[in-house]
A and B are shown apart, each in its own frame.
Chain A
Amino acid sequence: MSVTNTERNGGRWDAIIIGGGHNGLACAAYLAKAGRRVKVLERRHVLGGAAVSEEVYPGFTFSVCSYVVSLLRPQIIRDLELPKHGLEILPLECAFTPQLEGPGLVRWPDAAKTRAEIARLSKKDADVYPQFGRAMGRMGRLVKPIIDDPPPDPTSFDPRELLKLKKLGDLVRGLSETELVRFVKMMTMSSADFLDEWFESDVLKAPMAVSGIIGTYLGVRSPGTAYVLLHHYMGEIDGAFRAWGFSRGGTGQISLSIARAAEAYGADIEVNAGVERVKVKDGRATGVVLTDGRELDAKAVISGVDPRLTFFGLVGKEHLPGELVSHLDRYKLRGSSGKVNLALDRLPEFTCRPGNGLHIKGDIAIAPSIDYLERAYDEAKYGAFSRRPYLNVVIPSLTDPTVAPPGKHVMSIFVQYAPYHLKEGAADWPNQRDAFGDAVVDTLAEYAPGLKESILYRQVLTPWDLEKDFGLTEGNIFHGELSLEQLFFLRPAPGWARYRTPVRGLWMCGSGTHPGGGIMGAPGKLAAERMLKERAV
């Protein structure tokens, strides 16, 4: 990336952004668009953070970590003109849940087709399925204003804050009785219990329930997971039909398109530029020191990395109030997922639905039953990876042939659970990495028998690797668990939920801030807007 602007600015920047992930880049783009001089520092040789594409094996481009797009805020796409900078999102065809016995379930974009599939399992569920979608869409509309705005401060007596709280209160009080009850249930119940109130078929409920646990260290029977289910329906309420999709060229393209937009607005982006620490003087952040010894000064330093790494790794506990330190000690990161990427010689064939028709062109979930998923979690609770894990498999090369040589394929497998904290200790992951990879491939091969023979290359990422390679503390892909006590005005810590930190001039813009993880871009955008509003840059 270009470093030519450095001289122009004489080393003095309006804002330095630590981490070239999609949120850091979005923040940079919005600030640069507003005319600020912005510098982005990325430790790795590629941009994108966890939204990154790399040619790990010759000819095969892996979306190494994140692998599908759903939540990227449409407003960001429009504001930053991302399609002009190379963003193309291709829709996911369907959601396929193979079974060992039985024909499996495919949910299609075509409602009538889906109805026929579900009716095989339960006619009643087939009737209710579209109603559930509508109910969730309605709930999503309720939550949308919460996601699109910075959270209020419930402890403040500032009239503006009180007004915001009142607005939230009005939102809840404006609900019909049915919606109110549904809202409470959705915010607090487990996804399994929540779905039980709607559906009877386990084969249907299991793949629906997983939306509630992805990226969390919770099981489908854990209260609080029903809320995460909602995220699955968020994309659709923005009016973007079939919002789940692949980014052409891999998820790294999302980051790259944001980076190009940022550069077009004048931001300066540098890779291979690791930050050693944030310079703090008299309680104020003045710049950063790089691992190569360089020092850069700026009016504001913005961290796109997770809260614990930001405060404990880059700032230092000595500069922080004790209360925040204890909150961050309590802040739950504990990564729970891993990733296996495969380069395949040929397409897999699932026993329950032979052939490589449209059903494998979407999202393939190994989630045969609620109990299966819960047992996978049980193992993780006690510090072991799931021997029979939940797998979310996509084959992007079927939709976007540019990521693999002709006739060959790339398979991305998201795996849960792989707890960062093994009972042998996190440092034992390198010893267990291969066994973990085997468990994943063995599990999938039960459903798609020829799989093993078709593997040309296997990349296994454990939470340990995610921490080491991508700077995700404890391998948490969302920069912190999406549980109620870590959301909204409590993310990442009570009192510090609005991108500001107790260190003046230091700001946060990563997934560890409201509204949280996923390739959403919202934290980066909201942080930039907040800073501009407060004239911090």
Chain B
Amino acid sequence: MSGAKVIVIGGGLNGLAAAGLLAKAGREVHVYEARDALGGLAAGVPFADGYTAPGLLHDTAMVRPWVADALGLAQHGLQREASPAAVTIPTERGAITLRGAEVSGDVGPGDADGVRRYTALVDAVRPVLARIMDQAPLDPRASLLSLLKTGLAVRRLGAATMLELMQVAPMCVADWTRSLGLSEPLAAALSLPAVEGSFTGPWSAHTATTALVRAALSGPAVVGGAPALVKAVVAAAKAHGAHLHTGARVTRILSDGARVSGVELASGEKVTADAVLSTLDPRSTFLCLSGPTDLPLGLVEDAKRYRMRGTTVKVHLALTGPLEDAAGNRITALRATPSLDDVERAFDAAKYRAAAEAPALDVVVREDMATAPGHAVASIVAHAASYDLAGGWTDDARQRFGRAALDVLSRHCPTVRDRVAHMEVLAPPDIAERYGVTGGHVLHGEHAPDQLLFLRPSVHCGAHRTPIAGLYVGGGATHPGGGLTLGPGGLAARAILSK
């Protein structure tokens, strides 16, 4: 099938990564991106004159090395930081600094030991998780041999780790972090990545798994952040010969119910292809881009059921100076939430069509993304608010949420308010509209056990193939899931190439 034509819908990281790998394998690849910029949720967000936020998602630590290597991203400028970023975690009296497995600052008596135990489990399970994430998803219907292999890998962890894993996995992250003896601010900070993006709070079961997976798969961040990652992936895709089309919205996947034949663009143009890979979420792919009789029922029904209730509000601050704490120390990354209960309360709001009064904040500060010297950009992932806000997401509602986020931030960074030159608040519907993600769900769907592995996004297309010949899926709504990992794109390309 060398030379076969593949269309990739969506020029986000996964689409680009898949395009690069397919082009490298000799396919004629065309990427159609509806927006004018490539990179999707990772693309830089210019939000004020002279200020660009580092991607709607800004955590670049989870890039899967195998995809980066296969694309040759290093040759295209991708560099990773030498060490994990220092994260500031405000406490009542000061702050804890978390850098990898090390904690310093205003630590509680159990923190050092707790983080050590936390890291020990994370390190122990990393090989197994990496194995699961870098392969086609585990499927109980698969051959017994492949299951046994994974089962054996789990057993090789040893009885103690295996039992601990089995016990921790179904837990809520609050119980897990508290059982480690961590001080409240540290426990809350470690729990935040587990609930970000999803319709969950730290008291929701299984969030320990999310925390564990995210921690285990995180390596050093990309130098230059998400925009640098996009740049490298674009360069690699182009170098391998992929054709990237921006401002080209696909409006319909053409199929006869059995085989895909191409796509139709907003311009009315019909483009034929041997294969189509959609990196959009399942609602967009299976409900919006497909006609009501194009797909088998199971896929349609699963797409309807698939849960993508976005809870993330993105706040961008244009700062006239650095972000500093009361003592004047510069902050590059910060997780602002005093306690697990505060994170949970923030989620409570989202349950009742409201927005958190004191959102939990995951802040990244970049001085290189403001053109004026000395200025900075704060990129804030704020948890949580309802997509379907009672009364609607009016400008007033957005402003109110922004002020609430600033209130939380200024508790630790008292000068921040005076330095805000401009603030942009992107509520879930804004994210949905701007990025074409249903529900404004930044992970392309909740990372719940019934929406992971071979069930993501549906049992009928969990391994990146759909029942329609030639139609593939490969965005964050497929294994191994949302976030800036390149994993889904990489695995989708592999699925196409193995055909």
Pick the interface stretch among B71-79, B158-166, B218-226, B266-274: B158-166
Could you mark each residue 184-212 of chain A with 1 if its beta carbon is under 8 Å from any beta carbon of chain B, else 0?
Answer: 11011110010001000000000000000
B412 contacts the other chain (CB 8 A) = no
Distance A11 CA – B344 CA, assembled complex (angstroms): 55
Contacting residues, chain B, for A155 (C-beta < 8 A)? 155, 159, 162-163
B163 and A494: CB pair below 8 A? Answer: yes
Chain A residues near B169 (CB-CB < 8 A): 485
Residues of A within 8 A of B352 (CB): 371, 375
Q: Is B364 an interface residue (CB 8 A)?
A: no
- 13 sampled A-B residue pairs with Cβ under 8 A: A155-B163, A169-B140, A172-B140, A180-B141, A184-B449, A184-B450, A188-B205, A223-B205, A330-B167, A332-B175, A485-B169, A485-B170, A485-B171
Complex Cα distance A483/B208, Å?
14
Of the candidates B170, B179, B455, which one forms a contact with A483 in the assembled complex, judged by CB atoms under 8 Å apart? Answer: B170
A84 at the interface (CB under 8 A from B): no
Measured CB to CB, the nearest residue on chain B to A224 is B205
Cβ B450 vs Cβ A484 within 8 A: no
Residues of chain B from 328 to 351 with CB closer than 8 A to chain A in the complex: 341, 344-345, 348, 351
B203 lies within 8 A of chain A by Cβ: yes
Interface centre among B162, B305, B351 (most CB of A within 10 A): B351
Find B203's partner among A169, A181, A222 (CB 8 Å cutoff). A222
In the complex, per-residue mask of A323-348: 1 if CB is within 8 Å of any chain B CB, else 0: 10001011010000000000000000
Q: Find chain A residues with CB under 8 A from B450 CB.
A: 181, 184-185, 188-189
Chain B residues positioned under 8 Å from A197 (CB to CB)? 305
Shortest CB distance A298–B (Å): 31
Residues B205 and A222 in contact, CB atoms below 8 Å apart: yes
Residue of B nearest to A327 (CB): B167
- State the CA gap A490–B167 with chains docked (Å): 7
A378 within 8 A of B: yes
A382 touches B162 (CB 8 A): no
Cα A197 to Cα B155 with chains together (Å): 35
CB <8 Å contact, B351 and A374: yes
Task: Assess whether A495 is interfacial by the CB under 8 Å rule.
Answer: yes
B162/A154 in contact, CB under 8 A: yes
Q: B341 and A484: CB pair below 8 A?
A: no
Contacts of A218 in B (CB 8 A): 205
Is A193's CB under 8 angstroms from B307's CB? yes
Assess A222 versus B449: contact at CB under 8 Å? Given A155-B163, A485-B171: no
Other A-B pairs, 14, CB within 8 Å; known A169-B140, A173-B140, A332-B175: A155-B159, A169-B147, A177-B141, A184-B449, A190-B204, A221-B204, A222-B205, A323-B160, A327-B167, A371-B352, A381-B341, A490-B163, A490-B166, A495-B159
Question: Measured between alpha carbons, how far is A114 from B323 in the docked complex, in Å?
Answer: 62
A327: chain B residues at CB < 8 Å are 167
Which of chain B's residues has its CB closest to A329's CB?
A: B179
- List the A side residues contacting B459 at CB < 8 Å: 177, 180-181
Which 6 residue pairs spanning A and B have beta carbons closest together?
A: A484-B170, A494-B163, A188-B449, A224-B205, A155-B159, A223-B205
What's the Cα separation between A479 and B162 when bound, in Å? 25
**Cβ B166 vs Cβ A494 within 8 A:** yes
Q: Is B206 close to A, CB under 8 A?
A: yes
A381: min CB distance to chain B, Å: 6
8 A Cβ contacts from B174-223 to A = 175, 179, 200, 203-206
Could you say which residues of chain A place their CB within 8 Å of the CB of B175?
330, 332
Alpha-carbon distance A71/B141, docked complex (angstroms): 32
Bound together, the chains give a CA A494 to CA B164 distance in angstroms of 8
Q: Are B344 and A381 in contact (CB under 8 A)?
A: yes
Residue on A nearest B302 in the bound complex, by CB: A181
Bound CA span A381–B168, Å: 20
Instruction: Check if B448 is an interface residue, CB within 8 A of chain A.
Output: yes
Q: Which residue of A lies closest to B304 (CB)?
A: A197
Contact with A along B256-293 (1 / 0, CB 8 A): 00000000000000000000000000000000000000
Contact A330 B179 (CB under 8 A): yes
Known: A221-B351, A332-B175, A494-B167. A180 touches B140 (CB 8 A): yes
CB contacts (< 8 Å) of B448 on chain A: these are 188-189, 223
Cα A485 to Cα B165 in complex, Å, equals 10
Contact A484–B455 (Cβ < 8 Å):
no
The CA-CA distance from A180 to B160 in the complex, in Å, is 29
Query: Given contacts A188-B448, A223-B206, A330-B179, is CB(A378)–CB(B167) below 8 Å?
Result: no
The interface residues of chain A lying within 8 Å CB-to-CB of B147 are 169
Q: How far is the CB of A380 from chain B (nearest CB, A)?
A: 11
Determine how close the nearest CB of chain B comes to the CB of A232; give it in whole angstroms: 19
In the bound complex, what is the Cα–Cα distance between A181 and B351 (angstroms)? Answer: 25
CB-contacts of A388-405 with B (<8 A)? none
Q: How many A-B residue pairs have CB under 8 A?
A: 87
Cβ distance B146 to chain A, nearest Cβ, rounded Å: 12
Q: Measured between alpha carbons, how far is A189 from B305 in the docked complex, in Å?
A: 13
Closest-by-CB residue of B relative to A383 is B341
Task: List residues of chain A with CB within 8 A of the CB of B307.
Answer: 193
A215-229 near B? 1/0 per residue, CB < 8 Å: 000100111100000
CB <8 Å contact, B168 and A485: yes
Instruction: With both chains docked as a complex, state the minimum distance between the C-beta of B354 and any C-beta of chain A, in angstroms.
Output: 12
Which residues of the other chain, A, contact B166 by a CB distance below 8 angstroms?
154, 485, 490, 494
Asked if B179 and A188 sit within 8 Å, CB to CB, the answer is no
Cα separation A280 to B13 with both chains bound (whole Å): 63
Closest chain-B Cβ to A333's Cβ sits at a distance in Å of 12
- Closest residue to B155 on the A side, CB-wise? A155
Q: Which residues of A contact B179 (CB under 8 A)?
A: 329-330
| A188 and B206 within 8 A (CB) | yes
- Check B205–A484 contact: CB distance below 8 A: yes
Set B141, B171, B348: member contacting A378, Cβ < 8 A: B348
CA distance A484 to B140 in the complex (A): 19
Q: How many Å lie between the Cα of A185 and that of B351 in the bound state?
A: 20
**Closest-CB distance, A128 to chain B (whole angstroms):** 13
Find chain A residues with CB under 8 A from B204 CB: 190, 221-223
Q: Shortest beta-carbon distance, B382 to chain A, in Å?
A: 20
Q: Which among A218, A374, A485 has the highest number of chain B CB atoms within 10 Å?
A: A485
How many angstroms between the C-alpha atoms of A466 and B159 in the bound complex?
A: 36
* Contact partner, A495, options B140, B163, B348, Cβ 8 Å: B163
Across-interface contacts of A329 in B (CB, < 8 A): 179
Please state if B344 and A483 are interface contacts (CB–CB under 8 Å).
no
A484, B170: Cα distance in complex, Å: 6
Task: Report B-chain residues with C-beta under 8 Å of the C-beta of A169.
Answer: 140, 147
Interface members, chain A 289-318 (any B CB < 8 Å): none
Residue of B nearest to A157 (CB): B155
Q: State in angstroms the CA–CA spacing of A177 and B296 once bound together.
A: 15
Which of A172, A224, A371 is within 8 Å of B206, CB to CB? A224
B residues near A187, Cβ cutoff 8 Å = 449
- The complex places the Cα of A188 from the Cα of B450 at a distance, in Å, of 7
Nearest-neighbour CB distance to chain A for B114, whole angstroms, equals: 13
Complex alpha-carbon distance, A375 and B203, angstroms: 14
Q: How far is the CA of A375 from the CA of B155 in the complex (A)?
A: 41
Docked pose: A484 CA to B167 CA in angstroms? 8
Q: How far is the CA of A190 from the CA of B344 in the complex (A)?
A: 16
How many Å lie between the Cα of A332 and that of B176 in the bound state? 11
| Shortest Cβ distance from residue A173 to the other chain B in the assembled complex, whole angstroms | 6
Q: Which residues of A contact B203 (CB under 8 A)?
A: 222, 381
> CA of A484 to CA of B164 in the docked complex: distance in angstroms?
13
A484: min CB distance to chain B, Å: 4
Residue of A whose beta carbon sits closest to that of B353:
A371
Alpha-carbon separation in the docked complex, A218 to B344 (Å): 13
Contacts of A180 in B (CB 8 A): 140-141, 459
Bound-state CA distance A382–B206 (Å) is 20
Contact flag A483-B205 (CB < 8 Å), given A181-B459, A374-B351, A494-B167: yes
Q: In the assembled complex, how far is the CB of residue A69 from the closest CB belonging to chain B, in whole angstroms?
A: 28
Report the minimum CB–CB distance from A228 to chain B (whole Å). 12
Distance A169 CA – B167 CA, assembled complex (angstroms)? 19
Across-interface contacts of B159 in A (CB, < 8 A): 155, 495
In the complex, chain B residues whose CB is within 8 Å of the CB of A188: 170, 205-206, 448-450
Report the Cα distance A484→B169, complex, angstroms: 9
* B164 proximity list for chain A (CB < 8 A): 494
